[in-house]
Amino acid sequence: MGEGSDIDPADETSSKLRRHRDGEDPDREFGDLLSGALLDLREEIHSRFDSQIAPGDVGGRGTANWVALFEELRRRAPTLGMIERSGYVDDFGLDEQTIRRARPLLEYLRAHYWRVDVAGIEQLPSEGPVLLVANRSGILPYDGLMISHVVAESISERRRPRFLVADWLITLPFVQPYLARLGGVRACRENADRLLRMGHSVVAFPEGLKGAGKVFRQRYRLKRFGRGGVVRVAIEVGIPLVPVAVIGAEEAHPVLFKMETLARSLGVSFIPVTPTFPLLGPLGLLPLPSKWSIRFGAPIETEHLGAKTARDALLVSRMTEELRSEIQSMVDVDLHSRVGVWG
Amino acid sequence: MLKPGNIAITGLGTFLGRRLAERLAATQRGIGLTGVDLRRPYGLSNRVRFHPVDLTIPTADGHLAEIFGKEGVDTVVHTAFRREPTTDLEEDHELETIGSLHILNACAAAGVRRLVVASTTMVYGPRPDNPNFLTESHPLHGHPAAHCVANRVEMEALVADWAAGHPGACVTVLRPCWIMGPDYLDSVVRYFSLPVVPTVLGYDPLMQFVHEDDCLHAFETATLRNHPGVFNVVARGVLPLSTILRAGGKRLLRVPAAILYRLRYYPSQAQTGDRPEGFYDYLRYLWVADGERGWAAFGEPEYSTREAWMSFISSRRMRRYR
């Protein structure tokens, strides 16, 4: 029993353990070796099956930790992908988790990349949904995203407006999932009407495709406002229209000209040619850092008109044209007062 | 509100027909139940009187009218539709469209007062220009490559015509979306049962399901009470396809549309006789239906889209580890 005797006999477990570990001792008998191994085995079993007994045992706890970690990972593995999104979206596909994650990027774009000047936001009614009507520019809907972000940041997240996006864009591969999570909704009457009745504000771009595909030569010249659908929806729901002028988004994606023939053969609405787009490939889709300003005009009340006047075609077209010229004059004023494209 | 007389169910072998017959047999005393199909389903309750009828033969309408008259049928529930598309498109058309025509003719001849027809929200079609919520009045575009859906669209047109010609009869068309639940099985469910699920690269549309119990509840209510018109039968809530699949512990195989539409056989768990885009476009574009009308008529659904999906997933897991 060589060295076993000089260890405190009270701590029998550790003594036997040590004896086993210093197994090189030639005097050791086979029986001792066996009993030491058995003791180890018993400790191992204890540490695995009963964590209450194990805490003092260093070797055993390490094993138990690995097992627990492995178990935890195995249990969680199917849900690991869920971390990036909350797994809950609202009826229109907006995911609050995605918005929370995208917020730093949007805030960077607003404050440092485009240095957006916001004016007139205090004119927005403090309660209830509004229909924001803006001039469309650029190819990707950065303008809608920015208006939506600015309103959510300066008023409250609860009043984040949804922005309407043309069909060709909302079904664009890779863009579609993100647009919907960030609050983009396909532009159509049914959607606008439902959103407003649900109490959400909406950003609409009544120029539609004509606006998105504007070439650089026609920048800041507002096209016809569809067929007055925006005004009609606002009158039907009885909510105010707010004109919004966005300056700078035209220069973020300056479209030099459009490739009509190629677009027709590929079955898309148009292929824009910007100074960077087909040249740099997908990198050319990144917007340029122009200086932006977003100005909110005075709300135009429609509640007093009554839902029935929505069928008065002359009134609707007159209001639509007034709205268009209002936004056009806001754009003109802002253009006149801006220092330069890059600010 | 008139008390329902005897009820006939066409397509007794289908999930909806069979389950509806069992529910009615269990809850409705004193109502005669008649079932029509090609073969007698195994283990059918004795309360259901069964008549074998082949809907595809030209004289089926006369035969059916005779059965309806003999059994004193007052309400007909038409569920004789394939639960999965077939490669035999002609036969499919004979059964789903012409078979429905036979049933409508027989109903007219037998003076049936209430008709409940099973359709699907797939008839709206997956389209880039769909609004986020399709109401019952939305035009039925179907899908140019999906014959099974085209047959339902044609069938709905026949039913609408018939309803206009028989103002005395109460015609209910129920359009459930994709049904999920422990027991329901069709090509869509088999697609969602794959461990690795192919989806269209770059697209992640919002999806909507309905639980089989909620669907059956809607059919039962429509069978027993007058609810004329068309109703979407859907659960509350929508979820992106990728979220659904991840919540079910599936792996996603994102394949570019151009390749996916040429793959016929692996994703052919969802094998349709049609070209693959007839199925995959439903996983590419939006076709979520607005359920308000159905919820108002048949009551709040018990399961949300997420709960319907989890009920399906948990039942599959139980089966795997049994």
- A141 belongs to a structural domain: yes
Across residues A2-12, what is the average pLDDT? 45
Q: Spell out the SS3 assignment of B59-114.
A: CHHHHHHHHHHHHCEEEEEECCCCCCCCCCHHHHHHHHHHHHHHHHHHHHHHCCCE
Task: State whether B246 and A177 contact (CB < 8 Å).
Answer: no
Domain-embedded: residue A65: yes
Nearest to B206 among A81, A93, A168 (CB): A93
Distance CA B27, CA B261 (A): 46
Based on the fold, state whether residues A203 and A63 are members of the same structural domain: no
DSSP-H helix ranges across A171-292: 175-181, 189-197, 209-212, 229-237, 249-252, 260-266, 277-280
Residue A90 reports pLDDT greater than 70: yes
Instruction: Choose the final residue of a domain: A26, A51, A79.
Output: A79
Question: Maximum distance among all alpha carbons in chain B?
Answer: 57
For residues B199 and B257, the answer to whether their CB atoms sit within 8 Å is no
Question: Which pLDDT value is given to residue B30?
Answer: 84
Domain stops at, among A79, A111, A135: A79
Residue A286 lies in a domain: yes
Percent of all residues in chain B with a pLDDT value above 90, rounded to a whole number: 67
User: Quick one: A258 and A171 in the same domain?
Assistant: yes
Among A79, A83, A176, most B C-beta atoms within 10 A, so best to mutate, is: A176
* A84 contacts in chain B (CB < 8 Å): none
* CA atoms within 13 A of residue A102's CA, in its CB half-sphere: 20
Residue A11, pLDDT above cutoff 90: no
CATH number of the domain encompassing residue A170: 3.40.1130.10
Comparing CB atoms, the residue among A85, A176, A188 nearest residue B203 is A176
Contact across the interface for B132 and A78, Cβ inside 8 Å: no
pLDDT tens digits, B66-78: 999 999 999 999 9
- Residues sharing a CB contact under 8 Å with residue A5, sequence separation 6 or more, in sequence order: none
A172 and A225 in a single domain? The answer is: yes
Torsion of CA B164, B166, B168, B172, to 10 degrees: -60
Average pLDDT for chain B: 89
* Tens-digit pLDDT profile for residues B210-231: 999 999 999 999 999 999 999 9
What is the per-residue burial (b if ≥16 Cβ within 10 Å, else e) of A109-128? bbeebbbbebebbeebeeee
Judged against a pLDDT cut of 90, whether residue B287 lies above it is answered with yes
**Which percentage of chain B shows pLDDT scores above 70?**
94
Which amino acid type is present at position A325? S
Is the pLDDT assigned to residue A51 strictly greater than 60?
A: no
B117 forms beta bridges with: B78, B173
Domain boundaries, chain B: 6-181+209-235+289-302
State residue B37's pLDDT score.
Answer: 93
Angle at CA of residue B294, ends B189 and B81, nearest 5°: 45
User: A173: which chain B residues are within 8 Å (Cβ-Cβ)?
Assistant: 201-203, 257
At A204, which helix (H) or strand (E)?
strand A202-204
pLDDT band at A77 (very low <50, low <70, confident <90, very high): low
CA-to-CA distance for B258 and B262, rounded, in angstroms? 7
| Band of pLDDT at residue B35, cut at 50, 70 and 90 | very high
Whether residue A297 lies inside any domain: the answer is yes
Q: Is the pLDDT of residue B155 over 90?
A: yes
Would you tell me which residues 51-70 of chain A have a C-beta closer than 8 angstroms to some C-beta of chain B? none
The secondary structure element, H or E, covering residue B24 is helix B15-27
Are A55 and A183 within one domain? Answer: no
- A52 and A172: one domain? no
Does A150 have pLDDT greater than 50? yes
Strands B239-240 and B251-255 come out as unpaired
Q: Is residue A342 part of a domain?
A: no
Of A9-18, A116-125, A318-327, least confident by mean pLDDT is A9-18
Q: What is the pTM of this model?
A: 0.81
The whole domain housing A27 covers 2-79
Interface predicted TM-score (ipTM) of this complex, two decimals: 0.87
What digits encode the pLDDT tens for the residues B103-126?
A: 999 999 999 999 999 999 999 999
Q: Which of A58-67, A268-277, B170-179 has the highest mean pLDDT?
A: B170-179
Q: What is the CATH number of domain B6-181+209-235+289-302?
A: 3.40.50.720
How many other CB atoms are there within 10 angstroms of residue A43's CB atom?
A: 18
**Strand ranges in chain B using DSSP code E only, listed in sequence order:** 6-10, 33-37, 48-52, 73-78, 114-118, 170-176, 178-180, 196-200, 206-207, 209-211, 229-233, 239-240, 251-255
Do A206 and A140 sit in the same domain of this protein?
yes
| A91 at B interface, C-beta within 8 A | yes
Of B128, B135, B242, which is closest to A171 when you measure between CB atoms? Answer: B128
Is A188 within 8 Å of B131 when comparing Cβ atoms? yes
pLDDT value at position A340? Answer: 83
**Same domain? A75 vs A92:** no
A214 within some domain: yes
Q: Report the SS3 class of residue B247.
A: helix
Task: Out of A85, A173, A188, name the one closest to residue B203 (CB).
Answer: A173
* Distance, CA of A320 to CA of A227 (rounded, Å): 8
Query: Considering A56, A79, A102, which residue would you say is the last residue of a domain?
Result: A79
pLDDT band per the 50, 70, 90 thresholds, residue B3 = low
Say whether A173 and B201 touch across the interface (CB within 8 A).
yes
How is residue B288 annotated by DSSP? P
Number of domains in chain A: 2
Residues A74 and A93 in one domain: no
Instruction: Give residues with Cβ within 8 angstroms of A156, minimum separation 6.
Output: none
- Nearest CB among A85, A89, A167 relative to B129 is that of A167
Chosen for mutation from B124, B127, B129 (greatest number of chain A CBs closer than 10 Å) is B129
Q: Look over chain A and give the mean of its residue pLDDT values, rounded to a whole number.
A: 80
Tell me what pLDDT residue A86 has. Answer: 54
Q: Rg of the Cα trace of chain B?
A: 19
Give the confidence band of B178 by pLDDT, cuts at 50, 70, 90: very high
| Domain-located, residue A22 | yes
| Whether residues A254 and A279 fall in one domain | yes
- Spell out which residues of chain A touch residue B204, defining contact as CB-CB under 8 Å: 176-177, 180
For A120, the 3-state DSSP assignment is coil
In 3-state terms, what secondary structure has residue B251? strand
Query: Both tokens of residue B77?
Result: 């529930």
> Are A141 and A228 part of one and the same domain?
yes
Half-sphere exposure of B273 (CA within 13 A, CB side): 16
Return the closest-CA partner of residue A99 out of A219, A185, A179.
Answer: A179
User: Where is pLDDT greater, at A157 or B77?
Assistant: B77
Residues A14 and A116 placed together within one structural domain of the fold? no
Q: Please check whether residue A198 lies inside any domain of the structure.
A: yes
Rounded Cα distance between A237 and A299, Å, is: 15
Using a CB–CB cut-off of 8 Å, the residues of B that contact A are 128-133, 135, 201-206, 237-240, 242-243, 246-247, 249, 257, 285-286
Q: Are B257 and B201 in contact (CB under 8 A)?
A: yes
With cut-offs at 50, 70 and 90, classify the pLDDT of residue A88: confident
